[in-house]
Structure 1
Amino acid sequence: MSAIPAAEITHRRVLHIALPIVLSNATVPILGAVDTGVVGQMGEAAPIGAVGIGAVILSAVYWIFGFLRMGTTGLAGQALGAGDRGEVAALLTRALLIGTVGGCVLIALQLPLFWGAFRISPASDEVESLARDYMAIRIWGAPAAIAIFGITGWLIAQERTRAVLVLQLWMNGLNIALDFWFVLGLGWGVQGVAVATLMAEWSGLALGLWFCRAAFRVPDWRNWDQVFDAARLRHMMAVNTDILLRSLLLQGIFVSFLLLGARFGDVRLAANQVLLQFLEITAYAMDGFAFAAEALVGRAMGARQRMVLRRSAVLSSFWGGVIAIGLAAFFALAGGTIIDLMTTSPEVRAAARDFLPYMVLAPVLGWAPFMLDGIFIGATATRDMRNMMLLSFLIYAGAAALLMPVFENHGLWIALLISFAARGVTLGLRYPALEARAED
């Protein structure tokens, strides 16, 4: 394969990859609002709670397989950079097989999964009954939902993020249309919302496969000797396991943040929940540029071109920094208005404003870990990601233990921001070794 000129890594190319992802992410909260809104027209509280808790439980279960998206992007990007067409196709087949098997396992284990979920998060008998009906329908979409993770990662590796945008728009648009038809038109209630999502997921898988049709026109995708090659499978398993452990540790920080915040009363807990939506906005906006880093760094690593890798990391991080500064300014100027839109409680509004300065700092401190995550995923330096995440988790836990007794909820927010800084610093210290691997 001929070398990739560093000059081909341009601002335009980074934006071409990133912006469709940012637009795609913007559609996600719209779907959640519609799901809630249509059942809200039934005039009862239980259906709203059932859809909410059912969606949260299934999202948490599917989230476990999020490694498939990230791992596929890094591995496929490197295979593209190395000019290994056969491995690119084999990775798509492996991802689809993992999605199918993983989804079938969830279907088989649905009863104990649902039982365990409601033991952890109990609800009223009416809400639990409706939520079980909702999840019993949606779980049949698990193979499609998980396989779409792999397809998305494979498309991102090829810088085909416009296809990802179309896929997301199709799924969410169809889901919304079917919500209105099934719930408001046919009166199917909670089950109608579930059927709408189920149909959207399977149609999304069909569209995703159509976007990947070029891979199925050549025999490489069914070269079973390569698909099931032991060494490549072990490497894929190691990469995905590291990403899963890293993600569990990251989730542990945010879950413990919510649980620890409950110690300071309902008002501060509610304020924390409101302000965490600012972090979701930040994640949605930054994802596109982290994905750009994954794709470009992956190709450069596969081609063993150190300077191309560096330019990819620098340009994608530059635009991530622009977004981070823009979000910080936006939160500083409009944060109070956003809080008022999210809650009508005077007490919660006042408490959220007290902690708003931390949200102004969050995008700036979160910039480095967001971008470095993308860079390390592209390079499949996942062992470093796992280890540095563990170290950052321990730093967060230590900071929370020291600061909360003195500064209460302020100490908790400071500990969370310290965890962002720790992730950025620790991964940054490992970056030179990552870059050096491009010349091994």
Structure 2
Amino acid sequence: MAEITHARVLKIALPIVLSNATIPILGAVDTGVVGQLGLPAPIGAVGIGAVILSSIYWIFGFLRMGTTGLVSQAHGTGDAVEVSAGLMRALIIAAAAGLTLIALQIPIFWAAFRLAPASAEVESLARDYLHIRIWGAPLTISLYAFTGWLIALERTRSVLVLQVVMNGLNVGLDLWFVLGLGFGVKGVAAATLISEIGGVALALWLTRAAFVGGLWRARAIFDRVKLGVMARVNSDIMIRSVLLQASFTTFLFLGAGQGDVTLAANQVLLQFLQITAFALDGFAFSAESLVGQAVGAHSVVRVRRAAIATSQWGVGLAVLLAAVFLVAGPAIIDVMTTAPEVRLAARVYLPWIAIAPVIGIASWMFDGIFIGATLTREMRNAMFVSVAIYVAALLILIPTFGNHGLWAALMVLNATRGVAMARLYPRAEAKAAL
């Protein structure tokens, strides 16, 4: 097995960073093309429709992480049959989940619009958008599985190619369907659906090695022990992710109670956190792949080396981001908003964003390490503890410090996650020693 070097870490991480950079571009194009129609309702419809679907699909993010952890370990062990079977199981789950969403689309969308009410015109257009996009549910969820499998095998360049081709196709069809053919909101939805079809077709080609040589035989796929492990890993990750999302949702809701200007300032600053996540994901994903392979190879030394090498780059990038935010933050804020009062408020809370990457890097990297080692129960339990402390921090800090207290509580959440998982890290090395 190849040595774990800094060059190898970068080879895995950089394509992920570049892939993530393409994601905001697509959202901007979707908004931009419907914005050319000169009406507010189509913009709102595409926005709310995309949020509804992304919130639903986000639940299945466990499929990406769980697949990476389990397949990377099988790869480290040299078990080609299990490497293939791991992808097949994930694709079966994706297909079942997607078909279930299609079957339940009427009650799901009804509930979504009750939670996020819109004007009659916006809701009507959003339903047009959703009723087209929902047919891509099995495809969208399966892409989590394909991506996780490719990351597990260190094929992140393929992930970048997949993302660029999908988004490029989507953008081109957006322009043609909306501006060229005048299909409006339905054109945006159709463009996305077709790009998902194209993406899955490309993903099948990129992962074709998993389908040849009889490696995908049913006996391996439906092995009861392996299915049980997969169910445990995925359920732990899903619970952990729901808790994390609930924490950020709470942050947003409590920020709304601080006034419109403060809420707007928080929204601007949260984009900095989005940038941080996109950048640090590359090294967290590197940890998932390399640690998983090391655990599969039963090498404690390689687990430690993978954890240290990926974390060194993660820490370095976190410090760099902190410096950029501190120095260039005011200019970035001015680009994001023209409202003077929002600019002023965002500058007041900018120091929290400047320290956020440094405080949060441990939680990001340990997430990757624990996913690779499939210590998902430990991840879940650490999240339970962190959320409990976060709630206590909210109750104590907000009444005294207002929005500063809200940001401080968010820092407490990330710091606690890092500390809790750091205490449990020896279990990753212990698992490799088994």
Of 428, 433, 437, which aligns to 2:431? 437
CA distance in 1, matches of 2:107, 2:361: 39
**Is 1:424 paired with 2:395?**
no
Of 13, 19, 35, which aligns to 1:24? 19
Matches within 5 A, 1:23-422: 23-221=18-216, 223-422=217-416
Moved over 3 A (4+): none
CA distance in 2, matches of 1:428, 1:11: 22
CA distance in 2, matches of 1:348, 1:394: 31
Letter of the 1:235 partner, please give it: V
What's the CA shift string for 1:189-210, capped at 9, x where partnerless?
0000000000001110000000
Letter of the 1:99 partner, please give it: A
Deviation of 1:226 after TM superposition, in Å, equals: 1.3
Deviation of 1:13 after TM superposition, in Å, equals: 0.1
Instruction: Tell me the SS of whatever aligns to 1:21.
Output: helix
TM-score when normalising by structure 1: 0.98
CA distance in 2, matches of 1:54, 1:25: 21
Deviation of 1:363 after TM superposition, in Å, equals: 0.4
Deviation of 1:19 after TM superposition, in Å, equals: 0.1
What's the CA shift string for 1:6-55, capped at 9, x where partnerless?
xx100000000000000000000000000000000000000000000000
Deviation of 1:216 after TM superposition, in Å, equals: 1.4
Letter of the 1:12 partner, please give it: A
CA distance in 1, matches of 2:334, 2:122: 29
The answer on whether the counterparts of 2:97 and 2:138 sit within 8 Å (CA) in structure 1 is: yes
What's the CA shift string for 1:83-142, capped at 9, x where partnerless?
111111111111111111111001001111101111111111111110010010000011
- Report the count of equivalent residues: 434
Letter of the 1:20 partner, please give it: P
TM-score when normalising by structure 2: 0.99
What's the CA shift string for 1:306-347, capped at 9, x where partnerless?
000100000000011111011001101111111111111111
CA distance in 1, matches of 2:91, 2:423: 35
Q: Any unmatched runs of 5+ in structure 1?
A: none
CA distance in 1, matches of 2:165, 2:52: 24
Deviation of 1:61 after TM superposition, in Å, equals: 0.3
CA distance in 1, matches of 2:210, 2:168: 27
What's the CA shift string for 1:155-202, capped at 9, x where partnerless?
000000000000000000000000000000000000000000000011
Instruction: Tell me the SS of whatever aligns to 1:219.
Output: coil
Deviation of 1:230 after TM superposition, in Å, equals: 1.0
Letter of the 1:64 partner, please give it: I
Letter of the 2:211 partner, please give it: F
Deviation of 1:404 after TM superposition, in Å, equals: 0.4
Letter of the 2:373 partner, please give it: A
CA distance in 2, matches of 1:215, 1:407: 55
Letter of the 2:69 partner, please give it: G
Deviation of 1:348 after TM superposition, in Å, equals: 0.7
CA distance in 2, matches of 1:394, 1:202: 42
Letter of the 1:274 partner, please give it: V
Letter of the 1:396 partner, please give it: Y
Deviation of 1:225 after TM superposition, in Å, equals: 1.2
CA distance in 2, matches of 1:435, 1:397: 32
Letter of the 2:129 partner, please give it: Y
The answer on whether the counterparts of 2:303 and 2:428 sit within 8 Å (CA) in structure 1 is: no
What's the CA shift string for 1:331-382, capped at 9, x where partnerless?
0111111111111111111111100000000000111000000000000000
Letter of the 2:84 partner, please give it: A
Deviation of 1:235 after TM superposition, in Å, equals: 0.6
Letter of the 2:195 partner, please give it: A
The answer on whether the counterparts of 2:33 and 2:179 sit within 8 Å (CA) in structure 1 is: yes
Deviation of 1:280 after TM superposition, in Å, equals: 0.3
The answer on whether the counterparts of 2:265 and 2:342 sit within 8 Å (CA) in structure 1 is: yes
Instruction: Tell me the SS of whatever aligns to 1:438.
Output: helix
CA distance in 2, matches of 1:420, 1:214: 39
Instruction: Tell me the SS of whatever aligns to 2:433.
Output: coil
Deviation of 1:218 after TM superposition, in Å, equals: 1.1
Q: Any unmatched runs of 5+ in structure 2?
A: none
Identical positions, percent: 63
